[in-house]
Chains A and B, each alone.
Chain A
Amino acid sequence: MKRLWPNSLVGQLLLVVALILLLAQGINSFLLYRGAQNQNLVEASTSAVARIVYGFERPASDRAAPRRTGKRSRRWGQLKYSPESAVGDDMRRLPELEARAGQAFANMGIGFSDIRATSIRDLTTDMTGYVIGANRGEWRNDPINRSMGGDQSTPETKGFVIISAQLANGQWVSIASAVRERTPLLVRTLLFQTFTIYLLMLIPLILLGRYISRPLKSLTARAQSFQPGTTETLEEQGPPDTRELIRAFNDMSGRVTRMIEEKDVMLGAIGHDLRTPLAALRVRVESVEDEAERERMVAGIEDMNSMLEDILSLARLGRSTEQSDPVDIRSLIETVVDEFTDLGHEVRYQRGDKQIAAVRETLVRRALRNLIGNATLYGKAADISVEKSGSSLLIHVDDDGPGIPEEKIAAMFEPFLRGDASRNRATGGSGLGLTLARAIARDHGGDIILKNRENGGLRATLILPVG
């Protein structure tokens, strides 16, 4: 069922309208059917009433001694006189028909002490012969029907109405009248009608749906590809609600852009205003006599500076002025690996096949540098390997360190959280390394995954999309 449910607004609209239409048509047909059935009963009872009235307008002989045969009587059916009503006490009575019949008798000046009416499906034996209506032609001409004289139910006859009236002397006069089906309402008709109406509604519905959904689609596309800084606004189109939404979206993107511009200005100011006193401090530190003390101060300043760098890069990400270029990832890895080997770290990388990815080189270098930096910080050596998987390039950085408890892996990407809870400054790093690396990877449409290796140590994987 879920599979059949359309995803688009237009599709859902069309389906819902079709279902509602079908339901409405169904209810409508049911009501029509009920009305028609009632009408059939009324018609049948009218004949019965007329027959009774006719009988009472005729000479008393007709009443007193009804002839069993006779062309006319036979055709019209005979009135049945009996001490008991043909409509038994246990039968479902039709008050509406009784009222109508009473009215008709009163109009003709015939008074009955009681009138009963009912409808039955099959003719009871005691009423056989006291029937009018039915399919006269067929009934009369059908040799079987005539010879049998029994089954008065023909295909067109849908039950009978019996009218029974009590005379002043307590006797009952009764007559049955065949109910004829005049309005055969078939499911096919219903479906055909529904389908016709639906076809007529289809084109305006599709047009309406597109009118509504097209501006929504372009709004969705714009929201997905939203880049702060674009001053271009989306054209207001569609119904008023949608226009208002688009206007609100345009306003919002304007506010976001202004906010980010303010942030950039602020960052630039922070960068400049913090670096200058830091530089002054760095110069003054040189006059500290105690060498060990001086080294510690220098390390502190460098830490502050690298943290500042990381914060600024993180904040600036996504607004990079550097553009993506196809880069041979092997050379990129080598460049970063060389930086580490120059500092005496053991970082191994075996140049493999040429792998090209469109990247912002300085950013990806930085992400990789952070990953390898972590590996050399927590382990003794790092191994870099590259793997192509589908449309992604996986750069694995494996270390031989202690790894990370599984439950803490997700938290590793939180800013200012480092593997060692002590936050020991001696281990260095700003605590932004992984956060920044992942932000860079995601900015490229990739990601970073941390996983403990089976043989111990951690595997950090930088995923970059290719092609």
Chain B
Amino acid sequence: MTNKTHILLVDDEASLREPLAEYLIKQGYKVQQASDASVARSLLNAYDFDIILLDIMMPGEDGLSLCRFVTDKTEIPVIFISAKTEETERIIGLELGADDYITKPFSPRELVARIKVVLRRADKGVTSHNGSTGGAYQFSGWTLKCDKRSLIDADGVNISLSTGEYQMLLALVSRAGKVLNRDQLLDITQGREAHAFDRAVDNQISRLRRKIESDPKNPEIIKTVWGGGYVLAGEVKSL
């Protein structure tokens, strides 16, 4: 038994699967390859995996269906690899319980970084999707809709948020009243920038405040806790 991270790589395209497996092995991972869902299922029965990299579009049973099976039966985190870039695809994938989503073509380094983030979060038992997906939260006159990833003000007007801002806000809103330090926020929100720093958290927070606070200098919604981190004040209604 080694303590190497064990990866199951599922993709029907050998031209991508093989070099990727090679690269991951070089990076110090142990990799099993599956060319379709049925091979993947038999491998899942035979081995213990730490993480699954899953292509969505495959002949036969597709990645979405396999993902549903994996998230229902096991605790193994899943990262989707897809050739589709549409936002809807991405949301469907994440709603199915996948932990991350990366589109082809991707930087292998970024994939490795994301694998690390997902594994770190799995270790700490942080659930990626904050419990509720497809739901909505109401706080201080704002509505945060998870299915469309949109923030709507009291007049029904959408406020544009970057992916990072959305995830930061969702983390705070779904844990309202709980003080979250920068490390925790980074863990929860993962984000594309796997090597994000504390400074990045402060930056996101100040941008969020600019968008949702009536006076960003004296925040009423996202409050700073001295020496600790940030907390969402006020009542939150989960819809």
A binds B: yes
Residue numbers of A with Cβ under 8 A of B are 271-272, 275-284, 286-287, 298, 301, 305, 309, 312, 321-322, 325-328, 331-332, 334-335, 338-339, 351, 354, 356, 361-362, 365
Evaluate contact between B106 and A325: CB separation under 8 angstroms.
no
Are A326 and B157 in contact (CB-based, < 8 A)?
A: yes
Q: Decide: A335 and B160 in contact? CB cutoff 8 A.
A: yes
Interface: B132 (CB within 8 A): no
How many residues does chain B have at the interface if contact means C-beta atoms less than 8 Å apart? 35
Q: For B152, give the chain A residue with the smallest CB separation.
A: A325
B87 interface residue (CB < 8 Å to A): yes
| A322: chain B residues within 8 A (beta carbon) | 87
A334 touches B211 (CB 8 A): yes
Q: How far is the CA of A332 from the CA of B160 in the complex (A)?
A: 5
Report the stretch among B15-23, B28-36, B172-180 that lies at the interface. Answer: B15-23
Of the residues A275, A283, A309, A356, contact of B23 by C-beta under 8 Å: A283
- 15 residue pairs A–B, Cβ–Cβ below 8 Å: A275-B105, A276-B16, A280-B16, A281-B105, A284-B19, A286-B108, A298-B107, A305-B105, A325-B158, A326-B156, A326-B158, A331-B211, A334-B211, A338-B162, A354-B157
Contact residues in B for A312 (Cβ distance below 8 Å): 85
Q: Cβ of B6: which chain A residues have Cβ within 8 Å of it?
A: none
Q: How far is the CB of A356 from chain B (nearest CB, A)?
A: 5
Chain B residues contacting A326 (CB-CB under 8 Å) are 156-158
Q: Let me know if B116 is at the binding interface, CB within 8 A.
A: no
Complex: A321 Cα to B104 Cα, angstroms = 21
CA distance A421 to B150 in the complex (A): 41
Q: Does B83 contact A (CB under 8 A)?
A: yes
Residues of B within 8 A of A309 (CB): 85
Does B160 contact A280, Cβ atoms closer than 8 Å?
no
CA distance A301 to B106 in the complex (A): 10
Q: Are A365 and B160 in contact (CB under 8 A)?
A: yes
- Most chain-A Cβ atoms within 10 A of its Cβ — which of B20, B81, B105? B105
Check A282–B108 contact: CB distance below 8 A: yes
The distance from the CB of A304 to the nearest CB of chain B, in whole angstroms, is 9
CA distance A349 to B2 in the complex (A): 54
Task: Indicate the member of A277, A287, A334 with the most B CB atoms within 10 Å.
Answer: A334
Contact of A279 among B87, B105, B153, B165 (CB under 8 A): B105
Asked whether, in the complex, the Cβ of B83 is within 8 Å of the Cβ of A331, the reply is no
Smallest Cβ distance from B221 to chain A, in angstroms? 15
Q: Mark B61-88, 1 if CB is under 8 A from A, else 0.
A: 0000000000000000000010111111
Please determine whether A283 and B150 come into contact, CB atoms closer than 8 angstroms: no
- Which residue in chain B gives the minimum CB-CB distance to A268? B84
Whether B160 pairs with A283 at a CB distance below 8 angstroms is no
Q: A272-B83, A276-B15, A280-B19 are contacts. A328–B106 as well, Cβ < 8 Å?
A: no
| C-alpha spacing A6/B191, complex, angstroms | 64
Cross-chain contact of A271 among B84, B109, B159 (Cβ < 8 A):
B84
Neighbour of B57 across the interface among A272, A286, A331, A354, CB < 8 A: A272
Is B161 on the interface with A (CB-CB < 8 A)?
A: yes
B198 interface residue (CB < 8 Å to A): no
Q: How far is the CA of A392 from the CA of B64 in the complex (A)?
A: 43
Task: Give chain A residues whose Cβ lies under 8 Å from the Cβ of B165.
Answer: 335
Distance from B146 Cβ to chain A, minimum over Cβ atoms (Å): 16
B residues 103-158 near A (Cβ < 8 Å) are 103-109, 150, 153, 156-158
Q: Are A283 and B19 in contact (CB under 8 A)?
A: yes
A328 in contact with B104 (CB, 8 Å): no
Report the bound CA distance from A173 to B75 in whole Å.
138
B210 touches A351 (CB 8 A): yes
Please, which residue of chain B has its CB at the minimum distance from the CB of A312? Answer: B85
Once the chains are docked, how many angstroms separate the CA of A441 from the CA of B108? Answer: 35
Give the CA-CA distance A286 to B19 in the complex, in Å: 10
CB-based closest 10 A-B pairs = A279-B104, A279-B105, A332-B160, A280-B16, A282-B105, A275-B83, A331-B160, A275-B104, A278-B105, A272-B83
